Amino acid sequence: MSIRQIPLLLEGSFQESASSERLPVRNPANQEVLAEVPFATHGEVNRAVAAAKEAFKSWREVPPPARARIMLSYQHLLKAHHDEIAEILAKETGKTFADARGDVWRGIEVVEHACNISSLLMGETVENVANGIDTYSMIQPLGVCVGITPFNFPAMIPLWMFPLAIACGNTFVLKPSEQDPMTPTRLAELFLEAGAPKNVLQVVHGGRDQVDQLLAHPDVHAISFVGSAPVAEHIYRTGTHNLKRVQCFAGAKNHMVVMPDAQPQQVINNLIGASCGAAGQRCMAISVALLVGESKNLVPQLAEAFKVMRPGVWNDSSAAYGPVISPKARQRILDLVQIGKDEGATCVFDGSQVTVPDHETGNWVGPVLFSGVKADMQIYREEIFGPVLLCMEVDTLEDAIALMNANPFGNGCSIFTASGAAARKFQHEIEVGQVGINVAIPVPLPFFSFTGWKKSFLGDLHAYGKQGVRFYTETKTITSRWFDEDIAHAAPNMTISLK
Ligand code: NAD
């Protein structure tokens, strides 16, 4: 049987790439080759940008309510195909079906936000800024925008980008992760089915070479990137050096502060889900529990809860989570667990060497719990991106805040407490962009923005919400005057003429 070849979406149709460079897309639960993804040729990437540039001329003239209607159809289609997309996603990422549905749903919510594009594009007006003169602003699209997305949310993150960018009147070139390109391909098919004009969206596949070509392309105006911190730095530096508008969402090390007055079972349930859910491969996963004072006594209970958690295949509804994305990712996690032990952290529970019956070749990593972790250890300094939770013991809330503020990342965090005063101090003083109060993973809904800080975000304007619209648009400010009649003499002095 021939292997499915992932097509490019180029010049309005799905086409097989001419490239001879291809990677297998594997089911992480058994290494089965699901498809092959091409690394687009130089010419194909150029054709994608050229087609998007040409399409921009007419798409920018389409009235925003008409663009919104396409987004409404798209939202409807995505909902109708919710489970079908989730199944594709679950098979190529290994996520459980419930988690895969969540990935799709969080993307659909951004499309719903894009349906409001007309009101989001409203400018401002001040009448009579001087006698007979009005000033107003309008918000206009940029041109060709590019999105480069990671493996861990192959539905949600592409949907953070292209629907909003296109609703703003731009055209878009998407370069999805080469590790799970089937889900974004399905999203693109449904986008065309929803009535999107040909060429407003192009999809090219590849890796560093294709991304670098896009970063340097003179007809690309803006770049959205989501992925690991080192790649984010490369993209931000190169993109801005090339005078593009760039936003980069990068890696994380998210902490949960547990105060002694927090409800213990709530803490344990939330810590398990937030650290091991999706095999810890979420940028908002909690990877560090900061146990304040007596809450350090929760470690044995946590260990018991870790012991009963086990990974499984996507359609096993009793599985807590699935395999990690690749054998390489698995090995990296196992190596870091060993490093943690060598560094002197206490490995309270090590379930990492686990296998799943009938799926022995899967990239399985069982849950791992450390305590006694110190800030100078490599397992604390690096993003592990696996089902590994580090417990650190601190005496006071002030100590917890100081430790977190010294961490270079600032994506998400949470505090579990019964004290309003502690929660308020925490939300005020913490240098992290997304804060949960008795909410472990505080991902904002799309009418807000996704606001990581520090090394977790490079740029100025964040994803979706009003900031996403600002990122994908430019503001034009118009000062206008209409004469009733001509005057007798010239008035060269600007201040006088404005009086
Ligand atoms: P990654 O950085 O390896 O890849 C991301 C994208 O960049 C892919 O499309 C890939 O093809 C491309 N890429 C890889 N190396 C490149 C290079 N050298 N030059 C140019 N492009 C390159 O990330 P990943 O492993 O796919 O995703 C996981 C990472 O993404 C984690 O670090 C996670 O924290 C982060 N992430 C962050 C957020 C956020 O909002 N902050 C959200 C999701 C994921």
Which ligand 1 atom sits nearest the alpha carbon of residue 450? 40
Residue to probe by mutation, ligand 1, list 180, 215, 228, most atoms within 8 Å of CB: 228
Domain regions of the chain by residue span = 8-250+456-477, 254-437
Phi and psi (nearest 5°) for 234?
-60, -45
Encode the chain in three state secondary structure. Answer: CCCCECCEEECCEEECCCCCCEEEEECCCCCCEEEEEECCCHHHHHHHHHHHHHHHHHHCCCCHHHHHHHHHHHHHHHHHCHHHHHHHHHHHHCCCHHHHHHHHHHHHHHHHHHCCHHHHCCCCEEEEEECCEEEEEEEEECCEEEEECCCCCCCHHHHHHHHHHHHCCCEEEEECCCCCCHHHHHHHHHHHHCCCCCCCEEECCCCHHHHHHHHHCCCEEEEEEECCHHHHHHHHHHHHHCCCEEEEECCCCEEEEECCCCCHHHHHHHHHHHHHHHHHCCCCCEEEEEEEHHHHHHHHHHHHHHHCCCECCCCCCCCCECCCCCHHHHHHHHHHHHHHHHHCCEEEEECCCCCCCCCCCCCCCCCEEEECCCCCCHHHHCCCCCCEEEEEEECCHHHHHHHHHHCCEECEEEEECCCHHHHHHHHHHCCCCEEEECCCCCCCCCCCCECCEECCEECCCCECHHHHHHHCEEEEEEEEECCCCCCCCCCCCHHHHHC
What does each of the 499 residues of the chain score in pLDDT, given as a tens digit?
799 999 999 999 999 999 999 999 999 999 999 999 999 999 999 999 999 999 999 999 999 999 999 999 999 999 999 999 999 999 999 999 999 999 999 999 999 999 999 999 999 999 999 999 999 999 999 999 999 999 999 999 999 999 999 999 999 999 999 999 999 999 999 999 999 999 999 999 999 999 999 999 999 999 999 999 999 999 999 999 999 999 999 999 999 999 999 999 999 999 999 999 999 999 999 999 999 999 999 999 999 999 999 999 999 999 999 999 999 999 999 999 999 999 999 999 999 999 999 999 999 999 999 999 999 999 999 999 999 999 999 999 999 999 999 999 999 999 999 999 999 999 999 999 999 999 999 999 999 999 999 999 999 999 999 999 999 999 999 999 999 888 887 766 665 455 4
Closest among 413, 433, 467 to 160, alpha carbons compared: 467
- Per-residue confidence (pLDDT) for residue 499, from 0 to 100: 47
Strand pairing report for 368-371 and 409-410: unpaired
Q: What pLDDT, on the 0 to 100 scale, is given for residue 485?
A: 86
From 115, 168, 248, 283, the catalytic residue: 283
Active-site residue 391, yes or no?
no
Ligand 1 surroundings by CB, under 6 angstroms: 148-153, 175, 177-178, 207-208, 211, 226-228, 231, 234, 249-252, 283, 383, 385, 411, 452, 456
What proportion of the chain, given as a percentage, has pLDDT over 90?
A: 96
| Residues 6+ away with beta carbon under 8 Å from 125 | 134, 135, 136, 137
Topology given in CATH for the domain delimited by 254-437: Aldehyde Dehydrogenase; Chain A, domain 2 (3.40.309)
- Quote the ligand 1 centre to 93 CA distance (angstroms): 15
State the distance from the centre of ligand 1 to the C-alpha of 151, rounded, in angstroms. 7
Domain 8-250+456-477 annotated CATH 3.30.565.10: no
Name the residue with tokens 């919510």: 109
Q: Of 146, 281, 159, 283, which Cα lies nearest the Cα of 206?
A: 146
Mutate to test the pocket of ligand 1, among 21, 93, 151, 381 (most ligand atoms within 8 A of CB): 151
What's the gap in Å between 171 CA and the centre of ligand 1?
22
Residue 153 Cα: closest atom of ligand 1: 43
Model pLDDT for residues 116-132, shown as the tens digit of each residue: 999 999 999 999 999 99
| Whole-number Å distance between alpha carbons of 341 and 482 | 76
pLDDT tens-place string over residues 448-486: 999 999 999 999 999 999 999 999 999 999 999 999 888
Ligand 1 centroid from CA 302, angstroms: 31
The whole-number pLDDT of residue 487 equals 82
Residue 20: the pLDDT is: 96
Q: What is the pLDDT of residue 422?
A: 98
**Residue of 160, 211, 236 with the most ligand 1 atoms within 8 Å of its CB, for mutation:** 211
User: Separation of 161 CA from ligand 1 center, angstroms?
Assistant: 15
272 within 8 A of 287, measured Cβ to Cβ: no
Distances (CA, A) of 251 to 313, 454, 458: 26, 10, 11
207 CA closest ligand 1 atom index: 11
